[in-house]
Structure 1
């Protein structure tokens, strides 16, 4: 039994004859006749009887069609599902983003996407750029918003904008009174740092190392919000992304460092291979809108 044979039966019933069914399906009349003959031989029953000019199901044919048409309906439904999948109306999109960009820019775009495509399943997470990149490599995420990953022939990185970083001080810290704060001024300051593999930490380590200035840090915390709380409590200072400290938290002062700029390039990360259609759609929409926002920021 084949679906095209069931479709032929449906059209014969709708049109009333083999000839009209053949015209509707774009077949030769002999092809329609062959479909019915093959199915009758397979089932061992007579499917149709002629009454006047119209073809009607026999008693056996009626019993067969009551059950067989469900298969055709399921097939039609499945075809619609697949059509929606192929055109990007359905599917599963998995995306991860760093929290600073994610909360301020990306989440509104994701919400709009979910409203426009309610049949697309979404997995969305906030994480570090390093974790996001590794999950893309491991096929656990499709799209990532983060910092430039290490060179990898299988990954694409589309730069969007620079994410600047500033110094956050407790409100009563001695450095607050200085007109200019240099990197050297921080050599005796307890800096609250993120974990050693974090991109923010790498940027800070790089500048201190290049300048030959020792880096003093007694506390390492893997969460930016917790670092801010420690700064507010007067435990130390920190160099954090501007997006994470806008507006400036209570009991703190935000300052730029003189003669040096801490910043990281943010972009969209994905594998080079073709993504599922729904993921490709979101990737292109995000890339377009984030690039516009990046141009406005610059």
Structure 2
């Protein structure tokens, strides 16, 4: 028994004759007749009887069809599912986004994607760029939004936007009274920094090293919100992404550092291979959206 034979029965019942069924299916009438003959021989029953000009199921054929049509319905449903999967209308996307800028810039776009493609299942997490990159390498994530990974990891990175960084000071700090600050103003300041492997920390180290200024850091914290709390308490100052300090936290002042371009390029990270269609759809929509607007919140 084959699905095409069941489809033939369905069309005969709908159209009322072998001839009209053949026309609808684009078959020769002899092909339709052959389908029915083969199935009748396999089952050992007579499927159809002719009443007037229309073909009707026999008693045995009616019993057969009452059960067999469920197979056809399941097959049709399965075909629709596979069509949706192949075209990216259905599937499973595993996505990671850096936690600082993700909440303000990318999450609204992901929400809009989920509303449009309701049959796509999403596994979504906020984390550091380093963790996201490693999870892509370990096949735990399909797509990541973060900073450019090391070139020796053989990952694709498509730039989207720049994430600027600025200085955050306690509101009563002497430097808070100055409108323009440079790295030289921070040479004797206690900086509260992220851990040494963090992309933000690497950018800060690079800028200070290029300017020949040593960093005075007595405190390292691996959580941006905790860093802000320490700044609010007057323990020291910090250089953080704008996304993490907008709006400006209470009891703090934000200042741009002159003659220094603090910032990290954010982009989409993926493996250098074909993605599942649903993941490929989200990847392409993110790129299209940013290239179309060519703007960012900042």
TM-score, length basis structure 1:
0.92
Deviations 1:88-146 (A, max 9, x none): 22222222211232111111111222222222212222111111122222222222221
SS of residue paired to 1:164: strand
How far apart in 2 are the matches of 1:42 and 1:253? 84
Question: Contact 1:161–1:291 (CA<8 Å) still a contact in 2?
Answer: no
How far apart in 2 are the matches of 1:174 and 1:150? 39
Q: 1:13: how far off?
A: 1.3
Superposed counterparts of 1:216-255, under 5 Å: 216-255=216-255
Instruction: Decide which moves more: 233-242 or 38-47.
Output: 38-47
Structure 2 gap ranges (5+): none
Q: 1:290: how far off?
A: 2.3
Deviations 1:166-203 (A, max 9, x none): 11111122333456433243333221111222100111
Question: Contact 1:162–1:265 (CA<8 Å) still a contact in 2?
Answer: yes
Q: Which residue of 2 aligns with 1:69?
A: 69
Q: Which residue of 1 aligns with 2:256?
A: 256
Q: Which residue of 2 aligns with 1:172?
A: 172
Superposed counterparts of 1:14-163, under 5 Å: 14-152=14-152, 154-163=154-163
Question: Contact 1:50–1:56 (CA<8 Å) still a contact in 2?
Answer: yes
Does residue 281 of structure 1 match 2:252? no
Deviations 1:73-102 (A, max 9, x none): 001111111122222222222222112321
RMSD: 2.0
Q: Which residue of 1 aligns with 2:200?
A: 200
Instruction: Decide which moves more: 134-143 or 101-110.
Output: 134-143
How far apart in 1 are the matches of 2:40 and 2:226? 74
SS of residue paired to 1:202: helix
How far apart in 2 are the matches of 1:296 and 1:227? 25
Q: Which residue of 1 aligns with 2:9?
A: 9
How far apart in 1 are the matches of 2:293 and 2:227? 28
Shift in alpha-carbon separation, 1:83–1:128, aligned structure 2, 3 A:
same
Shift in alpha-carbon separation, 1:130–1:29, aligned structure 2, 3 A:
same
How many residues are matched?
A: 298
Flag as ranges the 4+ runs of structure 1 deviating above 6 A: none
TM-score, length basis structure 2:
0.92
Question: Contact 2:179–2:255 (CA<8 Å) still a contact in 1?
Answer: no
